[in-house]
A and B are shown apart, each in its own frame.
Chain A
Amino acid sequence: MSVPLLFATLGALISERAGVLAVFMDGAITLSGFIAIAVTMATGNPLSGFITSAILTTSLLMLLAWFTEQTRANPFLVGLSVNFLASGTTSWLSSHLFGTRGVIALADSGIHWRIPGILSVTAALFVTIIVWWTLTHTLFGLRLSASGPAPQILTVRGSNPARYRIASWGIAGFFAVCAGTILAFNLGAYVPNLSAGRGWTALAALYLAYRKPLPCIAAVLVFSGAEYITTILQGTTLVPASIILGLPYALALLVFLFIPQTESAKKTP
């Protein structure tokens, strides 16, 4: 259950290392989930859904990153616009292609396929270790880490920090795709607002993990645990459902309040 969140958090981590807080994660997750489901319904092959979603979402984000660099745009606004774009485009495509703005179920077209839980968990943990190793031990990873707080180091050495920012958006997008497709395939359907605020929880988990890859696992488990508890509470009707909807955001807010911000404050506005 925490696997999508872990992917999302890793994506946000990479983007944040390059200096930009990934506000687009939420929209990217929803959009990629939609594309995956739509393509899977069309072709009957879940893998093609995942690949198409990966290609489209990552390209879109890299295009927007390039646009941001070229026009010196404000990356937060561009990220926000991705969220709106995802919401609007999915509702338009959903209505246009499937005739409904609601739930699009795979089962309706005869596809009953679920990702085995153990597979996704192992994949997520494996990816986390790869991310950690890449960031600390490879040239690409180290340069990426430098491009956020100290891009002049890169320029002095002849690399272009903008390229790393664009790459970071692309990688973050890819992780968002992983998160979105896992969410969608686990449900067996696309529901509007698939991410349900998980993109923002990912950002909070990122700070909870002190912006390091390995502690992300622990942070994600904390948030998933909270989500699990609220799901149980929802069933017992002790707490109204609406409040539970607001909980991811409230939790993320609390994290920001109570985790020391000294180091990160200087890096991200």
Chain B
Amino acid sequence: MKRIAPPLVSFGLCILVITLFLAVSTPSPLDTLGRFFSGTFSSWWYLGNMLNTAVLLIPAAIGSAVALRSGSLNLGGEAQLYAPALVTALLLSRIPDTVPVVPVFLAVLLAALATGAVLAAIPGILRVRFHASELLTSFLLSAALIPLLDYLVAGPLRDPGKNLLATRAIPETVRIPPIAGPSSFNLSVLPILLLAGFWALIILRTRSGYRMSMTGTAPEFAVFTGIRTGRITVLGMTLSGALHGLTGFLAVTGTWYTCHQGITIGMGWSALAVALIAGKHPLAIVPAAIIYAWIQISGDNALLSTRVDFDSTAILQAVLFLVISARTIPTIVQFRRKRP
């Protein structure tokens, strides 16, 4: 119970704050709050979309968790999601129909993973070689790239046949089939759950996982035991970026079938929040992602019935970051404060 308490408190506070905001903003509080709490379960569409959001969050959250475990804070999640999504949509929409599907699918997946990996590896290398804070470099790189990506999607790479700010739709053959149509919940849930289990297995039971955890929690000790912390830091960031890239890939192939502006819907930050809430235990990411997705989607739904239109996701993230920051990575804070 002691281990579950902090995340529950964080979520509880979030729900409370959002409830307050909603209650104040609407002429019919009972109706809005009803929508908030039960609206998601009122139909397969809502439920499926909520689960799909959770499924999309999970790889990115694992990515953030990987970075955290190896002692870094990856704040560049947004671009690490967006750029691979764009790459995916571009490559998949231009392949000729005659080419076999499976190899192309895998190749583009690799491309997406590589894109994300590179975007995160850069801050990692900068930290190890130049002692630049990966916190800032990853954030700045991401923030600098996003307007560029927006421009590309809305400009040169836009689908000229439609009026959306999006690239051309990918062909039917490479789309991941949905399970609970018409919602976006699709088959990707199966490999993703496997991925979560895989991650837990690696970090808890293997030597590489141990090395990574040690680099994150006690870097000096790790160095003394011969662990190459520099490499692990870069590796951690690279994997983090690759996993964010996976989410971007799935967003295109499973949910939207195209890359549109704003495809990330703040998932870069949500993933970090989920990873922080999940805390020490890797498998906790799955329920944390589900609860987070529930709060976000329900909040959006409830907003529709209010008089006021506001960015509830931002407030959600603010409260979450604030509450969980109180108990997260105390070792990193301690270690960094003591540096001469």
Instruction: Kindly supply a per-residue 1/0 record for chain A positions 19-33, scoring 1 wherever the CB is within 8 Å of any chain B CB and 0 otherwise.
Output: 101010000000000
Q: How large is the interface on A (under 10, 10 to 19, 20 to 34, 35 or more residues)?
A: 35 or more
Nearest CB on B from A38, distance (A): 15
Interface 9-residue window, one of B43-51, B58-66, B209-217, B331-339: B331-339
> In whole angstroms, what is the CA distance A202 to B277 when docked?
30
Tell me if B340 is interfacial: C-beta within 8 Å of chain A. yes
Tell me if B330 is interfacial: C-beta within 8 Å of chain A. yes
Residues in B lying within 8 Å of A, measured CB to CB:
21, 24-25, 73, 75, 126, 130-133, 135-137, 139-141, 143-148, 150-151, 154-155, 269, 276, 308-322, 324-330, 332-333, 336-337, 339-340
Are A77 and B328 also in contact (CB < 8 A) when A242-B151, A246-B148, A249-B143 are?
A: yes
Tell me if A133 is interfacial: C-beta within 8 Å of chain B. no
Please provide the chain A residues from 228 to 269 with a CB less than 8 Å away from any CB of chain B in the complex.
Answer: 240-247, 249-250, 252-253, 256-257, 261-262, 265-269
Q: Is the CB of B339 within 8 A of A78?
A: no
The residue from B147, B154, B326 contacting A245, defined by CB atoms under 8 A apart: B147
A interface: dominant SS: helix
Which 4 residue pairs of A and B lie closest in terms of their CB atoms, listed nearest first? A88-B314, A265-B131, A242-B151, A77-B325
Tell me if A87 is interfacial: C-beta within 8 Å of chain B. yes
Please provide the chain A residues from 58 to 100 with a CB less than 8 Å away from any CB of chain B in the complex.
Answer: 64, 67-68, 71-78, 80-82, 84-85, 87-89, 91-92, 94-96
Q: For A82, list chain B residues within 8 Å (CB).
A: 318
Nearest CB on B from A248, distance (A): 8
The residue from B21, B133, B139, B151 contacting A269, defined by CB atoms under 8 A apart: B133
Are A267 and B339 also in contact (CB < 8 A) when A240-B155, A242-B151, A256-B140 are?
A: yes
Q: Is the CB of A242 within 8 A of B148?
A: yes
Are A95 and B318 also in contact (CB < 8 A) when A74-B332, A261-B132 are?
A: no
Q: Is the CB of A243 within 8 A of B329?
A: no
Which of A76, A85, A94 counts the most B-chain CB atoms under 10 A from its CB? Answer: A76
Q: For B340, list chain A residues within 8 Å (CB).
A: 149, 266
> In whole angstroms, what is the CA distance A257 to B84 when docked?
24
The residue from B136, B140, B150, B327 contacting A242, defined by CB atoms under 8 A apart: B150
> In whole angstroms, what is the CA distance A247 to B143 when docked?
9
11 interchain pairs, CB-CB under 8 A:
A76-B73, A77-B276, A82-B318, A84-B314, A88-B310, A88-B311, A240-B155, A242-B154, A246-B148, A256-B132, A269-B332
Q: Is the CB of A91 within 8 A of B321?
A: no
Q: Is the CB of A92 within 8 A of B315?
A: yes
Tell me if A11 is interfacial: C-beta within 8 Å of chain B. no
Q: For B326, list chain A residues within 8 Å (CB).
A: 67, 71-73
> In whole angstroms, what is the CA distance A200 to B143 when docked?
10
Q: Is the CB of A256 within 8 A of B137?
A: yes
> In whole angstroms, what is the CA distance A84 to B75 when docked?
13
> In whole angstroms, what is the CA distance A94 to B150 when docked?
26
Nearest CB on A from B296, distance (A): 13
